Structure 1
Amino acid sequence: MLTTEVLERVVRAATRAPSVHNTQPWTVEVGLSRGRGMVDVRVDPARSLRHGDPLSREATISCGALVDHLVVAARREGLDAEVTVTAGDGDLRLARVSLSPGDLPSVAELELSVATVHRRTTRIALDDLVVDDALVARLVRMVADAQAHLVVLPPGSAARGVVLRQVARAEALATEDLVGRAEEEAWTGRAAAADGAGDGVPVEEPWAGHPGAAPGPGSRRLSDRAGPGDATEHGAVLALLTTPGDSPDDWLRAGRALSRLLLEATVAGLTASFATTVLENPTTRHEVVRSLGLVGAPQVLLQLGYGEPGVRTPRRALGTAAVRGDHLETGGASTA
């Protein structure tokens, strides 16, 4: 039976979704009527990176990840989740997730729900171990099922070298960008509140002093994670997640595909590491498209491999819920 308590559990679990700098740039409004639930997901402009993400592309990708986490959390509760995409309809609402009683979850669905708890983003170098080709192929198919594309850049390939050169260029330019650095620093070092709720990337890292640790806890720069050997030859998977177009609808699709990719990778024992700076700079993003001859738009660059998981980042508390009859209302920027 779908109750306000079940609906709250679903939303709370969904907020474990990854987001750029753990900004959690979303607002969620939920309703419950006649045993059916509704969850509206919107971008929260106040929590977008105004300098690093002026079009809210990464914020929308983050919201897409939340939508997929909602679907996964709903299935754990035995609920069917139908997603209606509303991006581009003229307001900030990106999607509506309708929930209704469904079949019991399968073993695979339960594994994904457990992965939402254990998934981490690491900011240290991954181990130089090769990921099995069959596993990589399965992840590529899974992303395709989500109507996106995973472009794998094999070790030693010319394409990998091209992308890594653009990564180095973008990260060097970011180092010189004082406004961008200030914005990044504003979202790093944020401590969790006493009740465990919060946002940003915590200062305390359990692997502080690790040889592959970045100089700052919030850094997503690949060059800050000095790993063994040549990055061009490193055994971890380096891949671009692309979408057919570059609209808010595509960004939302990228986030949903990214969420499912990360959860499936977590089930398989892989850890993810992001290198998004190259796609935040319009010049280097364009050069990646041109050099690789990409048909679609690159949305996320990440590594997948074996290594120590990152820290658990804090989450904002859910907004205060007011029950009026059989309707549950939460909303505003205070809602995680």
Structure 2
Amino acid sequence: MGQQTKTSATHESAFLKACRREPVPHTPVWFMRQAGRSLPEYLRVREGIPMLDSCMMPELVAEITMQPVRRHGVDAAIYFSDIVVPLKAIGIDLDIKPGVGPVIADPIRTRADLARLRDLTPEDVRYVTEAIGLLTAELGSTPLIGFAGAPFTLASYLVEGGPSRNHEHTKALMYGDPQLWADLLDRLAEITGAFLKVQIEAGASAVQLFDSWVGALAPADYRRSVLPASAKVFDAVAPYGVPRIHFGVGTGELLGLMGEAGADVVGVDWRVPLDEAARRVGPGKALQGNLDPAVLFAPTEAVEAKTQEVLDAAAGLEGHVFNLGHGVMPTMDPDALTRLVEYVHTSTER
């Protein structure tokens, strides 16, 4: 397939058409964390390789990203990475500890600390460009979704020094020194925007901004202290014309604001039915979601019944991309995910 033909076929894929709120042959499906520990082939190729190292090995990244596409027949691939990769790339001393998550050696809590957040350049992440080159060659017409963590979630890791239940240091900074907080998020927005641009220029057909921890905030705090930075990220990639997806867990009260930040597609977790989510988000946006991941541990009949509930709630939407309401869990049966893809495709065939 020639490059131009491939690009055209990708543009007309069910996933990208749904993101653009155009008619689709079937509801497209992909899963957050579809490339990961639920797949035995993933465990084999990752054995003995630390997470951050694996994110910097182009051939390994390409292989891991492709695995769920080959196995499940999903409608999109998502670039295999971790949200702290751009921070590591600019020299932040961090590690991903198994069973814990990202751990920052020296948290950022003062104005002097901001100087450590330098600009990210394409040379910092050459392995990303190389991996996406390998991927787009193998994916054919299947779109690739670029991936980044949103400024608030990156700030939380940097300020807390790692994952946090209550985000107390983060909120203390946000409330106690609003100007430093705004400057921190602005820097992170520049870094994140640059990271997504690298992925799009290498061949990503859409991008998803993950704000994993932003559900910890009230809407007024989100609007004042987070939305401007998220909007800056989306504005940075707007000229490329690729769909921009925004997702966070526990963000039912923030859905409208997340759309306002500039998302073309708003990801919804399992707590809010999609028809209600559409009311909160308003017109002009597609929605993504939102089967409860834990349903996949139930018998097939129960999975299909709950899946149908999601599809029924999505029936009146302008555009719908089927996904889980959060990531694939490591102990899930991969065959259950394959069956889920088949069920959604078959039952929504138009």
Pick the TM interval, shorter chain: under 0.3
Q: TM-score, normalised by structure 2?
A: 0.23
Structure number with the bigger relative contact order (C-alpha 8 A, sep ≥ 6) is: 1
Which structure: greater strand fraction?
Answer: 1
Q: TM-score, normalised by structure 1?
A: 0.24
Which structure: greater helix fraction?
Answer: 2
